[in-house]
Structure 1
Amino acid sequence: MKKYILVLCLISLLSSTSSIAYGASAVSNAQQAKVAIEKQAILAKGVTESLIAQLGDDADIVASVIRDNKDITEEKINNLVNGLIKSKTYKDIGIKHQVINGKVINANGEIIAVPELRSQTTKELSASAKLSTTSTYSTGTGPHYVISSNTGYAKATGYYTFPSTNTVGDSETAYVIGGIFTSNSGADLGLYSKDDLTWTPCINMGGTNWGNDGGWYESTVHINKQAVPTVYLIWKATENEVELQTYNGSSFALLSDISYYAPNRGFNTAGTGTIIKREHALAYSSGEGNLSNGSYYLDSHWYNVYIYNNYVTSQWTSSFTSSRAKGDTIDEQSTITISASNYDYDDTVSINFNKP
């Protein structure tokens, strides 16, 4: 198991950690040990002290990629390092849309379903499921399979291979989602597709205390699945903000970086009171689901997913998980197949609307 757990016997390495900026100067021994190990791994790949200093608290991401692939080239690591540094000052041009009746109209005039956010505490829909107007089956806002972490994590990364999709219904939208939730709000950060080719980064931000001051935000960057079949995703919380970075999963070139400033919701770098989620989903607007129309979402694959806080950089194993669940309704759950899973850092999921 590729798991990175820190022990205090590594304190002897601390003399070499001063150039990495990890927030407060009086960090704990465990934090310092974590920094020390990460720095040694990154230096071994030819990254300079100056660049490591600029990485700051994203050095753990680079270290996790190196641990998973010790033969990774210096060129790819440099791509990742440069992307992480660039993301500290650069963000995509984005477009904010108003969510009306669980959907938005994007810049291309397409109807995009916006799944209802699940609160951290209930992990359920805040509204009851409806009987679809186009089907005899009970539906909510679409089938999904979601993994939720324990409390205390602020960041996650993972590789994701796009599924084969067919969306028949007007509002049907394929999603890959990484979530960040506090006790009084939350955000889904991911990519959506309507055509089995183009995937667009987006953020669905919940309101303060689950109020009405949230919003749906999408990038003007569009990723072609044929050119980039696998992406490397980073989703994280900083102080009063959430961010999604998307990289080419092979070259580690930065493709997109979007963020959403959302004060008074409890988002923070340390992960205090925060949980992380990741999700496979085929969504539609409430009341519009048709589980017999032939739509599908096949072989959606998350793998080598890592979870982070100030003390932990680890493959997301079951010890970090609070729940894993299919949703929404029993009828929707029956369309989901989990064909492979290593709890909870690797799974392959398919959704098929082929009910009689």
Structure 2
Amino acid sequence: FSQAAMRGYHDSMLTVVDRLVDSWDTAAAGGEYVDVPKSMTSLTFDVIGRCGFSYDFDSFGRTEPDPFIAAMSRALEYINRSSNDIPILRALFGRSAREQHERDIALMQETVDRIVEERMRSGEQHGDLLDLMMHTVDPDTGEQLDRESIRNQVLTFLVAGNETTAATLGFAVHFLSRHPEVVAKARAEITEVVGADGRIGYEQVAKLRYVRRVVDETLRLWPAAPGYFRKVRGETTLGGRTLPKGSWVFVLLPQLHRDPLWGDDPERFDPDRFAPEAVRKRPAHIFKPWGTGIRACIGRQFALHEAVLTLASLIRRYDFAPEPGYELDVHEAITLKPRGLKVRLSRL
């Protein structure tokens, strides 16, 4: 995810964004509402497939969702649901769901094995993540990743690179549909930096600072991951409670991101909270949508570039109108994401 790598990913991202726009143009012409979570899942799945593994899942060209996406969604639901249930009840009454979960995991593994096998058989070099996994030697041991490790890493990137950014883009469109003044301000910036039409260049994405604020404010209110754990290294006091060494603390991000330090009405969507002068006034630890420490999100720059590029492409092309009567329904399946979200589009 270096700058050079990101530059190489940019055109692949644009190709998939163009497919999203084509599908939304069709919906706009017919006066239809678009299913935002479904569209964003297709977008981010195809982006990580093309950028990470030079593999085209062609989600926008299919009449039915890719079987991998369906299996992945069910698998995440199962993991989230079963992580807090009672094991004996799961064993007694959860046989059907467990067997479906096993089939889903097998399908996902078979899909990735096919991608890796095709790359090995072709012998082609693409300069993507898969090439790095297949050909990079550990500098200390001289070893390479074995096939099982490659499969597991590919699965990690396909899941993490899809679910999180899709959720963020979905929430962002929800907020934009309810804040036309934010859309207008973002569109003015996009016109100034990029122009009213034409392709958005790699260097221009970083100059879309207000669009980036839209992304950050979306992540503040609804981060893709609900939180992270920290282990207590020595007995300490937190919130008036004594925590013994070895105990765990869960940092609930939606609550942290609504702390009074964010100012009046922290529930309100306001991208100007991330204006430079406002950021400097707040402690850095109050905004942690990417996690923290050495296991913070490795794909942060990738996700931010993809999100800003996608939103800029949509904002300068459409106005968004919410579905009447819709109230934001936040659903958790490992990640937090909007459910049942639809908007009507108007071409500019």
Greater strand percent: which structure?
1
TM-score in terms of structure 1 length: 0.25
Greater helix percent: which structure?
2
- Larger relative CO (CA 8 A, sep 6+): 1 or 2? 2
TM-score in terms of structure 2 length: 0.26
